[in-house]
Amino acid sequence: MNRSSIAIFASGRGSNLQVILDAVQAGDCPVDVRLVISDRADAAALTIARQCGVAHVIHVDPKAFPSREQYDAHCAELIDQHAIQWIVLAGYMRILSAPFVRRFPGRIINIHPSILPAFTGAHAIEDALRYGVKVSGCTVHLVDEVLDGGPILAQAVVPVHDDDSVESLHARIQQEEHRIYPATLKRLVEARFQIDGRRVIWQQPSQTA
């Protein structure tokens, strides 16, 4: 299996997908995007992937499966079929089933719009503003069976302004998402890491030879 091979799961506009594909094309992110999967037939992410020449772009309809586990099992078969190393979630709005997560331990990556462990879940930006924090940001993390609970690979911090709305704070966070997601994928390919408790300990590339 090629260590640089990735599948990207996306449900919506595909902004992080676009940034990753742009970084690949520019030579800044040495990953091989072999597969893009969406649970929504109308997701802009599918169009972006096709326009960028991703070899396999697939809509997997949740209504075609009697359970979330069976839906995920089908997606897992696609991942194995295309010899994928990393599964990258980019605005994927489905919660992965436990059997799927256990099938790919330490190989599923997500980005979340908060400084975890603060403000997990689907309304992180609204929750941060409501709480009154002075900084927020984003977190790239491994996915485990706890929602937004896996070990942290990278984080970036942004200030929260007194006049911020959800939209303005989201835009500032997304700028950092677009910076650190491709950079973290690059690091995953070029270096290795160990997990000590909850801490991700990165090794230097020279130690992976």
Residue type, 76: A
What strand order describes the sheet that includes 56-59? 56-59, 32-38, 5-9, 86-89, 108-112, 135-142, 152-159
Catalytic residue flag (residue 123): no
Which of 112, 141, 170, 178 is labelled catalytic? 112
Burial label, 203 (beta-carbon count in 10 A; 0-12, 13-18, 19+) = exposed
Catalytic residue numbers read 112
